[in-house]
Amino acid sequence: MSDDAAALFAPFKLGDLELPNRIVMAPLTRNRAARGTDAPHDLNALYYRQRASAGLLISEASQISQQGQGYIWTPGSYSQAQVEGWRKVTDSVHAAGGRIFVQLWHVGRVSHVSLQPGGRAPVAPSAIRAKTKTVLESGFTEVSEPRALETHEIAHILSDYSHAAESAKKAGFDGVEVHAANGYLIDQFLRDGSNKRDDSYGGGIENRTRFALEVVDAVTKVWSKSRVGIRLAPVSPANDIQDSNPTALFGELVEKLSARGLAYIHVVEGATGGARDNHPFDFVALRHSFRGAYIANNGYDRTMAIEAIERGDADLIAFGRPFIANPDLVERLRVGAPLNQVAKETLYGGGEKGYTDYPAMADA
C-alpha cells in the first residue's frame, strides 16, 4: 500500500460492526434478478462475492413490495423466494470475509402500471407525474401517472417496510439501509415540489419529514439502530425531484435522525451521478450535525477520497460505477492502479457480460 492511502485503509467501527477499510460499495441497480420471482440467484451471488473486499457492501435497491417496484428485474425483499435468493448472496459475501447491508426501496411515482399489482396506478404523496423514465422489458419508457395515497394507506406501507426488514434479517444481511434519496417515495414525501398534501404528511418541514422518520422507526423495531443507515440526496434533481429550501429541510431531518441513533447517513453530494456543485449546500455542516458515521458519495476518485477522510469531512467513501467495472477496486485503490472503464450498454439487464466478467488486475 502506498503511504498516501493509509487513511482510506484504516479500520472503522460502524455501530458495532468492524470494517477493515473505509471503502463502501454503493447501491447499484443492475436489473438482473430472476424473471418471474424478482429473486437474486447464483450469478448475483458471484457478483457480490467478487467485490467483498470493500469495507461494506450495500446491495442494489430492493423493493419492499410489488407496489414498491419501478423497474423490470429488480430484486425484492418480501417473498420467500427472494429471502432464499438473498441468502445465497449473503452467504457468498460472508464466506469471502465481507459485510453487506440491504437497501430497502419503494419507488413511489417512479413506476409504470405494467409493474404494479393489478395494473393499477403507482402511488405518491400527491398525484403529480414525474418527468422521468423507467426501464421495462421493451426499454426506457415514460413513468405512469400516479395517484395520491390516502392517509390510512400509509400505515400499510410502513408495515411493508417492517416486513422487508424482517425478510432481510432472515436472508442473513448485516444491516439495512433505508433508501430516502433520488426522487423515490420517501424523497417525494420530503420535497415540497412533489408533496402538496394537506394532511399530517404535508405542508411544513415537520410534516414532510414525518413519513421518513416513521419508516426509520419501523425498521429499527426489527433491527438494532447500530445496524441501520439511511441514504439522502439533498440537492440531487434525480427523477424530477426538487425542494425550495433543501438546507432547512435536510438540516432538520438529519438532526432528528441523529437523535434516533442511526449508524450512518449516506449522502449523495450534488446531482446523483452528475455534478457535485449543482446547488449550494454545506455538506460539511450536515456531516457535523449527525452523531453517527457519514458516508460520502458521488464522483469520488482515489485522491478525493483520501483527502476527505484526512480532513474529517467523511468517515467512509462510497464508490458506485468504479465498482461495476472493477471487482478488485479496493486493491486498485490501495496501489493506485488504473481502473477498467464501464461498458454502459451492459448496465441494465443481461447476464454475465458486463456484470461478472470484468477482469481483475491479475487477469488483465
pLDDT digit string, tens, across residues 35-54: 999 999 999 999 999 999 99
Least confidently predicted of 80-94, 163-177, 263-277: 263-277
**Residue 241: band (very low, low, confident or very high) from pLDDT cuts 50, 70, 90:** very high
Which pLDDT belongs to residue 221? 98
Residue entry with cell 480532513? 311
Residues linked to residue 124 through DSSP beta bridges, in sequence order:
148
Instruction: Give which of 357, 352, 295 is closest to 26, Cα–Cα.
Output: 295
Predicted confidence band of residue 279 (pLDDT cuts 50, 70, 90): confident
In this structure, the chain runs to a length of 364
* Domain 3-363 listed as CATH 3.20.20.70: yes
The dihedral formed by the CA atoms of 237, 242, 246 and 252, expressed in degrees to the nearest 10: -110
pLDDT of residue 2: 58
DSSP H/E element including 314: none
Q: What is the average pLDDT across 116-131? A: 98
Predicted local distance difference test score (pLDDT) of residue 170: 98
Which pLDDT score is estimated for 280? 84
Which sign, positive or negative, has the C-alpha torsion 179, 350, 346, 93? positive
Domain-wise residue ranges, the chain: 3-363
- Rounded Cα distance between 139 and 137, Å, is 6
Q: How confident is the model over 307-314, as a mean pLDDT?
A: 97
Whether residue 97 contacts residue 52, with contact meaning beta carbons closer than 8 Å, is answered with yes
106: Cα within 13 Å, side-chain hemisphere? 28
Confidence tier at 276 by pLDDT (50, 70, 90): confident
Mean pLDDT across 119-128: 98
Mean pLDDT of 205-218: 98
Mean pLDDT of the chain: 96
Residue 209 contacts residue 190 (beta carbons within 8 Å): yes
Q: Which residues are catalytic?
A: 184
- Among candidate residues 154, 153, 134, 152, the one with its CA nearest the CA of residue 144: 134
Return d(Cα 148, Cα 168) in angstroms, integer.
28
pLDDT cut 70: percent of the chain above it: 99
